[in-house]
């Protein structure tokens, strides 16, 4: 899979973010082990704790469609280079990782950088 495709989808969906409080749009695109792609953007709420991150939004769409195993995610914000996932999103990604883990694809200016989720969340919580 060309991760540029995932990133382009993340860029496009970031434009639909609902961000009246932070003005910080984020888009994400997950790729499942079945090679299906799902996008999500962040959306905020006046009760800020109810805000949903783009990554969890995309994962929720995949799960709602019956997918439970993710092999890659692209994350993008026009407000910063290298938009890392927050800690909560890292843990949720850990829950749905493939046997080979998850590639986390981030944009750094004009190039893509890829991390393994385990690099960003060593010792993620599992039952």
How many Å separate Cα 43 from the centre of its chain? 13
111-116, strands of its sheet edge to edge: 37-41, 27-32, 70-76, 103-108, 111-116
The closest of 11, 73, 65, 21 to 43, measured between CA atoms, is 21
Residue 44 known to be catalytic: no
CA–CA gap between residue 13 and residue 125 (Å, rounded): 29
The closest of 61, 58, 44, 66 to 105, measured between CA atoms, is 58
Q: Which of 12, 44, 55, 67 is catalytic?
A: 55
Which residues are the active-site residues? Answer: 55
């Amino acid at each position: 899979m060309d991760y540029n495709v995932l990133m382009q989808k993340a860029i496009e969906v970031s434009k639909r973010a609902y961000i009246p409080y932070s003005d910080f749009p984020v888009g994400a695109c997950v790729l499942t082990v079945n090679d299906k792609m799902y996008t999500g953007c962040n959306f905020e709420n006046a009760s800020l704790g109810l805000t949903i991150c783009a990554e969890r939004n995309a994962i929720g769409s995949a799960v709602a469609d019956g997918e439970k195993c993710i092999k890659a995610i692209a994350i993008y914000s026009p407000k910063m280079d290298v938009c890392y996932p927050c800690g909560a999103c890292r843990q949720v990604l850990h829950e749905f990782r493939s046997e080979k883990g998850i590639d986390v694809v981030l944009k750094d200016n004009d190039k893509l950088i890829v991390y393994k989720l385990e690099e960003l969340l060593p010792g993620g919580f599992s039952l």
